Amino acid sequence: MRTLLTESEIADRVRMLGQQITGDYQGQPLLVVGVLHGSVVLVADLIRSIATPHQMAFVRASSYRGSTTVHGELVTTLDGLPDVSGRHVLLIDDIFDTGRTLERLSQEIRARQPASLRAAVLLWKRERQEVASQPDYFAFEIPDEFVVGYGLDYNGDYRHLPYIAVLEADDLATPSSN
């Protein structure tokens, strides 16, 4: 695999996002909602950089199944979401690829009448975008390549990597041993 973004590049940019989010919410209580499982690492690092009062929750969304690298049917589950009515919500996902996941989750959360809703992602593949909406915050724009690490996986592997890497053809055939 080939490293696309280093651990230090990610750490620096996540800290900057936390500072920007802190400034934008200026002490207003915030509900941070992570999309399982890919955003867990980003959420853990980002909430430590947000210096405004906040709580956190998680929802599920998945469009990849097994060892595929192409999208399937999008399935969402908001069972872990508390009452968002009248609250400021920041939805966090690992990657904005086609945009269908964030758009769908945003629609479902907006239906619950939050005071505001913004979205943050670590990675944005602009050339793959299929929806009109876009994230309010993003750390890096990346090319259309299948990436793993820092929470992103391939068939359940590679989430633990502290950097973002592009999988090569040989990597797709063998599980991670890193």
Is the pTM for the entire model greater than 0.85?
yes
Share of the chain above pLDDT 70, in %: 92
Cis omega (within 30 of 0) for bond into 37: yes
Does residue 6 form part of some domain? yes
Instruction: Mark whether 171 is an active-site residue.
Output: no
Tens digits of residue pLDDT in 20-35: 999 999 979 999 999 9
> Residue 43 is part of a domain; what is its CATH number?
3.40.50.2020
Does residue 36 form part of some domain? yes
Does residue 176 form part of some domain? no
Number of domains in the chain: 1
Distance between CA atoms of residues 47 and 63, nearest Å: 26
Residues 139, 33, 70, 7, CA torsion sign: positive
Does residue 167 form part of some domain? no
Higher pLDDT, residue 177 or 136: 136
Kind and range of the H or E run holding 117: strand 116-124
- The parent domain of residue 100 ranges over 2-142
Output the pLDDT for position 175: 58
Could you tell me whether strands 54-62 and 75-77 are parallel, antiparallel, or unpaired per DSSP bridges?
antiparallel
Higher pLDDT, residue 116 or 176: 116
Amino acid identity at 110:
R
Does residue 166 form part of some domain? no
Q: For residue 6, which phi and psi values (nearest 5 degrees)?
A: -80, 165
Please pick, among 79, 97, 136, 153, the residue that the annotation labels catalytic.
97
Tens digits of residue pLDDT in 87-137: 999 999 999 999 999 999 999 999 999 999 999 999 999 999 999 999 999
Output the pLDDT for position 64: 55
Does residue 55 form part of some domain? yes
Does residue 171 form part of some domain? no
Would the pLDDT of 164 be above 70?
yes
Does residue 177 form part of some domain? no
User: Within 13 Å of residue 67, how many CA atoms lie on the same side as its CB?
Assistant: 7
Distance between CA atoms of residues 172 and 165, nearest Å: 12
